[in-house]
Amino acid sequence: MAEAAAASHPERASAADWIAVAAGALGALMATLDISITNSALPQIQGEIGATGTEGTWISTGYLMSEIVIIPLAAWLTRVFGLRNFLLGCAGTFTLFSMMCGTSHTLTAMIVGRIGQGFTGGAMIPTAQTIIRTRLPMSQLPIGMTAFGLVVLLGPLLGPVLGGWLTENISWNWCFFINLPVCIGLVALLLFGLKADKPHWEALWKADWLGIVGLSAGLSSLTVVLEEGQRERWFESDMIVWLSLLSLAGMALIAISQFVASKPIMRLSLLRNPRYASVILIVLVVGGTFYGVIYLIPQFLGLIAGYNAEQSGWVMLVSGVPAFMVMPILPRLLGKVDFRVLVITGLMCFVASCLQDIHLTAQSVGSDFFWSQLIRGSGQMLVFMPLNQASMAAVTREESGDAAGIYNMARNLGGSIGLAIIGTVIDRRNTFHVASIRESLTANSLHGQEWIAANAAGWFARTGDMAYAQMRALGQLARLIQQQAMVITYSEVFYLLALALLCCVPLALLLKTPSYGAPAASGGH
């Protein structure tokens, strides 16, 4: 690409360089924001377009499915169309698909629009990293990568709050219409910050089409399996079985392309670099935990504390406070402190926050998550920021596009895998705990019988019908059993997340702090 092929970088980036970085960060923010902005508005959207709860899940799944496919393809598409042309095309089509979603009156139109959003928005995430890596000198790389990391962290956290506010105060349609003014600003930044470059159509004909087909079929199928598997009872569903087979076939094609293609679409050879491979393994696990927590806490607050999506969103936003507090000093830390120290400290903060949440009760509310959210937010900054930078510093400038694609794909794929595992664990452990509590409340349980008698007496005093009073008391007991089982289950899941994060500590020892005085990374192969 033109930017990657530029001559030597000055010691300080120019104004055009920073405009390009701002454009990349804004595009990435828009893409990450749209992952979760519809979550708060989903009930209203489903009602408007006449979709059932199960059908409505495809509004989110369609976006994730297309996004994870386009992320590793972004480096190749950038080489084909040129960086500025590609990003301008993505911004324009993302706007069109957003308008399509905002004006949709059918489920089909909404899903098509969301898939289009995923394809065009997802491409702007790895290209933001590529712009930062290719436009900034090594001495200023910490500032650019900190800005990118902040965007990736805050996008999913801001989404539910913004979506909930727009839905409650204006209309759910504005969850999509808000992209129009943002995209206009993005286009202006791209025109000012990036130089015009020529397309390289020969890269289109010489592409690794075997790998492209395998990647498209394999990753899209795998995402659907992970997102819909628990709802479809996994391999009891013919759809999940066939999609799993298609995913395996796609992965096989990707593996074959590594040997037969001159330039594989996914350069898995980068994983032979232990510095880069350790980053990918850590971000896979941390990505699963990050998206898992974003799912778990709103679910707990909604089911146990009775919060709506916007209220839960404000609780989640607390974890973003440390990001703003350490933003001024983090680039200096990245330049002076060993990455292994930062990442391990961040992992231990993340572990501590999960362990704080294993003591939940049925009376827990949003304020009970305050300190764990602050600690978690600090941990996320100390983990993601060095990892963002280590992934780029471990490779050469020419490899940065492919490396960014694999890195961002790993984070999102880790999120899908983590959510699939969490959903399965919650379903099965909740069933187990409900059965265990019910077994303890037999006819010989004095406490159980006293509780039913007291509640039945209360209902009898209000209604004068003992049969109805007994039925209401038993109904209350069933709901209480379900509530207590859910509380125990969520506490167990937080404990499992803490264990998974602890397993990443040895991998963090493989990280190496880059030398910011060097003009470029050596690659480390």
**For the chain, what is the domain count?**
3
> Are 237 and 195 members of one domain?
no
Q: Residue 134 is part of a domain; what is its CATH number? A: 1.20.1250.20
Out of 25-39, 462-476, 485-499, the most confident range is: 485-499
Of 397, 387, 341, 388, the residue nearest 518 (C-alpha): 397
- Digit-coded pLDDT (tens) for 38-87: 777 777 787 777 776 566 677 777 787 888 888 888 888 888 888 888 88
Of 169, 54, 150, 48, the residue nearest 102 (C-alpha): 48
Q: How far apart are CA 111 and CA 94, in angstroms?
A: 14
> Are 203 and 224 members of one domain?
no
> Are 248 and 383 members of one domain?
no
Q: Would you say residue 502 lies in a domain?
A: yes
Single out the residue in 264, 283, 307 at which a domain terminates: 264
> Are 61 and 199 members of one domain?
yes
- Digit-coded pLDDT (tens) for 158-198: 887 888 788 778 888 888 888 888 888 888 888 887 787 78
Is the predicted pLDDT of residue 451 greater than 70, yes or no? no
Is the predicted pLDDT of residue 443 greater than 60, yes or no? no
> Are 385 and 508 members of one domain?
yes
Q: Would you say residue 189 lies in a domain?
A: yes
Chain mean pLDDT for the chain: 80
Q: Would you say residue 75 lies in a domain?
A: yes
Is the predicted pLDDT of residue 500 greater than 80, yes or no? yes
96 band by pLDDT with thresholds 50, 70 and 90: very high
Task: Assess contact for 240 and 221: CB atoms under 8 A.
Answer: no
Lowest mean pLDDT across 12-26, 328-342, 371-385? 328-342
Is the predicted pLDDT of residue 240 greater than 70, yes or no? yes
Domain that holds residue 237: 210-264
> Are 284 and 352 members of one domain?
yes
245 band by pLDDT with thresholds 50, 70 and 90: very high
Single out the residue in 264, 299, 333 at which a domain terminates: 264
Eight-class DSSP state of 10:
P
- CA-based torsion, 182, 183, 185, 186: positive or negative: positive
Task: Assess contact for 400 and 388: CB atoms under 8 A.
Answer: no
Structure token pair of residue 420: 């699939």
CA quadruple 445, 451, 454, 456: dihedral, nearest 10 = -90
> Are 10 and 124 members of one domain?
yes
Single out the residue in 168, 186, 207 at which a domain terminates: 207
Is the predicted pLDDT of residue 246 greater than 70, yes or no? yes
Of 363, 373, 367, the residue nearest 304 (C-alpha): 363
Task: Assess contact for 194 and 353: CB atoms under 8 A.
Answer: no
Is the predicted pLDDT of residue 523 greater than 50, yes or no? no
> Are 308 and 431 members of one domain?
yes
Q: What is the percent of the chain with per-residue pLDDT over 90, rounded to a whole number?
A: 5
pLDDT recorded at residue 4: 43
Q: Would you say residue 522 lies in a domain?
A: no
pLDDT recorded at residue 8: 43
Q: Would you say residue 302 lies in a domain?
A: yes
Q: Would you say residue 397 lies in a domain?
A: yes
Q: Would you say residue 520 lies in a domain?
A: no
pLDDT recorded at residue 465: 67
> Are 104 and 116 members of one domain?
yes
pLDDT recorded at residue 102: 87
Q: How far apart are CA 352 and CA 37, in angstroms?
A: 28
> Are 458 and 476 members of one domain?
yes
> Are 82 and 106 members of one domain?
yes
Of 321, 339, 334, 313, the residue nearest 377 (C-alpha): 321
> Are 103 and 14 members of one domain?
yes
